[in-house]
Structure 1
Amino acid sequence: MTKRVLITGAAGFLGSHVTDRMLAKGYDVVAVDDMSHGNSANLEAAKQYPGFEFHSADVCDYAALRQAAGKVDIVLHLAAYKIPRYENPKKTLMVNFHGTHNALQIAVENNARFVITSTSDVYGKNPTVPFSEDGDSVLGPATVARWAYAASKMFDEHLVLAMAEEAGINATVLRIFGSYGPRQNLSWWGGPQAVFISAILREEVIPIHGDGLQTRSFTFVQDTARGIVAAAESQNANREIVNIGDNTEISILDLAHTIHRLSGKEGSLRITFVPYHEIAGRKYEDVRRRVPDIRKAERLLGFRAEVPLGVGLMKTIAWQKEQLEANGSLKAALV
């Protein structure tokens, strides 16, 4: 009998890739998205499958979510709100709490497998790198709004593990590290690589926050989606927290230079360094290094990222160039 999967945030970057992968593996998919950051074009391939259905609904609306879900075997909760450095920290906290609680309720009522995408941000300023799942969460003060997202996802993790234990459902928390690739949001919401690629293709100055020496680990979206699906299908990670990411470390400054080189652009890279206090007109703190310990994912899920950064960036640059050409912004910038 075909299993039915509820995917929240399905029209988003990660959600749409996971949706495609689950459908290709033979699952029926109930896709839910309020389209606040999703894109209907992301689901064009999914619409060709008879086992796909889409519902425009807010995960914070329990009645709407329950009606859309019906009877499901697996709940993949990918919907979230982030980046309080620019927008409403309260919305980040409330959306992530209510959305997760509602999705969990659906899983409990259906005795369904539950998987949530959390974030590497919950490790905060932990100085021990690479980050292991049993390591400390070292968040900054509540007076710095940028920690609202990490705090909301840490609360979500506790909620998932507590409700799973109480209800006896199978649940897994995934901490995602720096996903990028086709369908990514082209603003800072999508990550620094998205902003850098657009700036380089348009021959504009690249904005780098801080000194650019902070390091990150970037994971190609097809790898991330594969890791999420592996967790959905595994019985080995019940009530476990697992890092999903590539452990290749690169500085933000080197990332900019790498994208410039891969884009085939001639001449020197133009960069402006933006002090943290100018990012959003409020206090801000950054993380100096962010690298995952990937051993647990390999042991429990048989997962390891496979796409090298250079290969993934080339594919992402090609896709992003098509998007900019399609909306006329690239042509206008080069005239």
Structure 2
Amino acid sequence: MKKRILITGAAGFLGSHLCDRFIKEGFFVIGMDNLITGDLKNIEHLFKHPNFEFHHHDVTTFVYVPGSLDYILHFASPASPIDYLKIPIQTLKVGSLGTHNLLGLAKEKNARILIASTSEVYGDPEVHPQSEDYYGNVNTIGPRGVYDEAKRFQESITMAYHRFHGLETRIARIFNTYGPRMRLNDGRVIPAFIGQALRGEDLTVFGDGKQTRSFCFVDDQVEGLFRLLMSDYSDPVNIGNPDEITILDFAEEIINLTGINKKIIFKPLPQDDPLQRQPDISRAREILGWEPKVYRKEGMKITYNYFKGLTKEELEKSEHKDFSKHIRK
């Protein structure tokens, strides 16, 4: 019989790519999403596939899946500042109530569960690069705390189920990931820059642009997540690309990639925006035999070509969102 896997957040950016990967691996995939940030167009190509079914459901309420389950991937959460600043309560609930429900389901089904955590558990780090034994520097009551603390709680309850119930759990700390199916209006760096370039606008850099990010192409990310799920390692593992770049240098790369004749404009840095992001992936290399293979130049070309294929209406919907009410005064 085929292995059966439940993927929450299945209509989202990463979730949809995970659905593709596990169908390719011969699994029967049950996708679940409440579509609050996901989009059915990301998975509509799977609707007629005999090894895929979709459940429109909110995991913060009781989750029922008939039949057996071998694995669960919990990727149901807003993941961008635009989203979790707009729907803070839902963000906290999916990280707490949703995770509790899915851990309970995994226990009932005797399934292994992988939880999608994030580099945001490190906050604005005082250690660089960030390794899994760093406990982080998070403002629990700041606007970003609704996402950061939801993920930190998610890790805590997952380890509690692992220790108390003996549940097979995996925790992936995901660093900035990009690729096709990202939403242009989700507020993250890459879609924001590309959206502005495609609309012929100047590129907006927050702060002085010296803050850093490390971008991992989605195919590499999915490979790391697959290997982690299939491993026997239960502590958190960073999955990301350690190739670090400043936001200002990255904006210049986007200008060169798109060929636009535009300038860079600067706006105040949003509150608690991390100044450094670079994963230490020593643990992933040692335990999973994994490291990213796709260079940023190659991955960005693929991503840009995807966004160029969007309609005029989709581009108009992606106009830059205003962070002003969240900016430190």
TM-score normalised by L of structure 2:
0.91
Q: Secondary structure at the match of 2:208?
A: coil
Q: How far off is 1:44 after superposition? A: 2.9
Rounded to whole Å, the distance in 2 between the matches of 1:153 and 1:98 is: 12
Aligned to 1:197: 194
Q: Secondary structure at the match of 1:188?
A: coil
**Root-mean-square deviation over aligned CA pairs:** 1.7
Distance 1:252-1:297 versus aligned 2 partners, 3 A rule: same
Q: Secondary structure at the match of 1:86?
A: helix
Pair 1:253 & 2:248 matched: yes
The answer for unaligned runs of 5 or more in structure 2 is: 318-329
More off after superposition, 71-80 vs 37-46: 37-46
Q: How far off is 1:126 after superposition? A: 2.3
Q: 1:175 aligns with which of 173, 176, 190?
A: 173
Matches within 5 A, 1:150-229: 150-189=148-187, 191-229=188-226
Matches within 5 A, 1:18-167: 18-62=18-62, 65-66=63-64, 68=65, 70-82=67-79, 83=81, 86-142=85-141, 144-167=142-165
User: Deviation digits for residues 45-71 of structure 1, max 9, x if unmatched?
Assistant: 323431111110011121xx21x3542
Aligned to 2:290: 303
Q: Answer yes or no: is the 8 Å Cα contact 1:180–1:193 preserved in 2.
A: yes
Q: Answer yes or no: is the 8 Å Cα contact 1:182–1:319 preserved in 2.
A: yes
Rounded to whole Å, the distance in 1 between the matches of 2:84 and 2:207 is: 14
Matches within 5 A, 1:261-272: 261-265=256-260, 267=261, 269-272=262-265
Q: How far off is 1:41 after superposition? A: 1.4
Q: Answer yes or no: is the 8 Å Cα contact 1:80–1:99 preserved in 2.
A: no
Q: Answer yes or no: is the 8 Å Cα contact 1:193–1:256 preserved in 2.
A: no
Rounded to whole Å, the distance in 1 between the matches of 2:47 and 2:195 is: 29
Rounded to whole Å, the distance in 1 between the matches of 2:29 and 2:149 is: 30
Rounded to whole Å, the distance in 1 between the matches of 2:66 and 2:246 is: 42
User: Deviation digits for residues 96-150 of structure 1, max 9, x if unmatched?
Assistant: 11111111111011111110110001111222111110112111251x2112211
Rounded to whole Å, the distance in 2 between the matches of 1:69 and 1:132 is: 39
Q: Secondary structure at the match of 1:255?
A: helix
Q: Answer yes or no: is the 8 Å Cα contact 2:195–2:315 preserved in 1.
A: no
TM-score normalised by L of structure 1:
0.89
Q: Answer yes or no: is the 8 Å Cα contact 1:20–1:45 preserved in 2.
A: no
Q: How far off is 1:252 after superposition? A: 0.9
Distance 1:328-1:140 versus aligned 2 partners, 3 A rule: closer
Q: How far off is 1:325 after superposition? A: 4.5
Q: 1:273 aligns with which of 266, 270, 294?
A: 266
What is the one-letter code of the residue matched to 1:135?
Y
Q: How far off is 1:308 after superposition? A: 0.5
Q: 2:304 aligns with which of 314, 317, 327?
A: 317
Rounded to whole Å, the distance in 1 between the matches of 2:87 and 2:204 is: 23
Aligned to 1:5: 5
Q: Answer yes or no: is the 8 Å Cα contact 1:180–1:221 preserved in 2.
A: yes
Q: Answer yes or no: is the 8 Å Cα contact 2:78–2:84 preserved in 1.
A: no
Rounded to whole Å, the distance in 1 between the matches of 2:49 and 2:229 is: 20
User: Deviation digits for residues 163-210 of structure 1, max 9, x if unmatched?
Assistant: 122111211110001011100011134x11101001012110222211
Q: Secondary structure at the match of 1:95?
A: helix
Distance 1:86-1:274 versus aligned 2 partners, 3 A rule: farther
Q: Answer yes or no: is the 8 Å Cα contact 2:37–2:78 preserved in 1.
A: no
Q: 1:288 aligns with which of 262, 271, 275?
A: 275
Q: Answer yes or no: is the 8 Å Cα contact 1:6–1:32 preserved in 2.
A: yes
Rounded to whole Å, the distance in 1 between the matches of 2:207 and 2:186 is: 15
Q: How far off is 1:299 after superposition? A: 1.4
What is the one-letter code of the residue matched to 2:282?
R
The answer for unaligned runs of 5 or more in structure 1 is: 331-335
Rounded to whole Å, the distance in 2 between the matches of 1:92 and 1:171 is: 22
Aligned length: 315
Q: Answer yes or no: is the 8 Å Cα contact 1:217–1:245 preserved in 2.
A: yes
How many percent of aligned residue pairs carry the same amino acid?
38
Aligned to 2:235: 240
Q: Secondary structure at the match of 1:323?
A: coil
More off after superposition, 218-227 vs 21-30: 218-227
Q: Answer yes or no: is the 8 Å Cα contact 1:81–1:96 preserved in 2.
A: no
User: Deviation digits for residues 83-108 of structure 1, max 9, x if unmatched?
Assistant: 37732433321221111111111101
Q: Secondary structure at the match of 1:45?
A: helix
